[in-house]
Chain A
Amino acid sequence: MRGTDFLKTVEVLRPYATDEWIVRTQIGRAYYATFWEARSFVETHLGYVRSGRASEHREVATRLAFSDQQAFRALSRLRVIRNAADYDDGMHPGAVGNLWVEAETLSAWVITRLAELTQDAIEAENAAEGSAT
């Protein structure tokens, strides 16, 4: 599977997203969809090697910063939103809804940007191969 498969959960839950616990779950899935896609990109194109520790969340974002500062910023913000959704109780339901708007927006943005960066990297790799032969 790949990261964006997590977004299927978001779609399955969308009709029920009037409940706070559903929205919080959607936020978590949106973050992990984005994190998996970012991790795959930095592994494939930027030489990242998984540490197997929780710090992978920081390491992947930091490595992504080499390619795109805005994607790094958005992934970093998504991590905070996901933590808030999973750990902070007592939030006003409207605040949770605002977090979801952010999470969905930033997740879609980063995933789109990663697709562009992947295309750029493949073209650069092909060009390098071509000039080497």
Chain B
Amino acid sequence: MVALRQLLSESRSQDVETVMAVLREHPELTGQISAVTEYAERTFPGARAVLEARQYDEWDPPLMLTVTIPSDTAEAYRHAFAAFYDWLGSSSRVNESLIAIYPAFAPRMAG
């Protein structure tokens, strides 16, 4: 299981307080976040997740989990994107009204 501290390591300090408040109010989210990060780690080598309290629009859920997937090409990223959401749709364990989950692109580093 990925430690919450690790997921929050790149978050803004004001985000951390908000994230913790939401997780206290909805403790079931912690397990849901773990399920997503475990799937990502298992399926996409080198995947890295960041948890934030970022809302760009008023209808965005209070939390955002961005899972960066190292990919050799844009096409590989597109396939990973589709696989990620296929899994998320079939798992139906995540309350997406509370947390938005996005797979993001990063180039795979050589070596």
Contact = CB atoms under 8 A, between A and B. Distances in A.
Are A and B bound to each other? yes
Interface of A: 54-55, 57-58, 69-70, 73-74, 76-77, 79-80, 83-84, 87, 98-99, 101-102, 104-106, 109
Contacts of B82: 70
B107 A98 contact: yes
30 contacts: A54-B57, A55-B59, A57-B57, A58-B57, A58-B59, A69-B89, A70-B82, A70-B85, A73-B81, A73-B85, A76-B100, A77-B102, A77-B103, A79-B56, A80-B56, A80-B64, A83-B56, A84-B56, A98-B105, A98-B106, A99-B105, A102-B77, A102-B104, A102-B105, A104-B74, A105-B75, A105-B77, A105-B105, A106-B78, A106-B81
A104 B78 CA distance: 11
A79 B59 CA distance: 12
A17 B35 CA distance: 38
A76 B64 CA distance: 13
A80 B81 contact: no
Interface residues of B, number: 19
Contacts of A84: 56
Interface of A is mostly: helix
Contacts of B107: 98, 101
Contact of A87 (B56, B75, B78): B56
B74 A101 contact: yes
A41 to B, nearest CB: 19
Contact of A69 (B56, B85, B102): B85
Which 6 A-B pairs rank lowest in CB-CB distance, beginning with the nearest? A83-B56, A105-B74, A102-B105, A73-B85, A58-B59, A101-B105
Contacts of B57: 54, 57-58, 79, 83
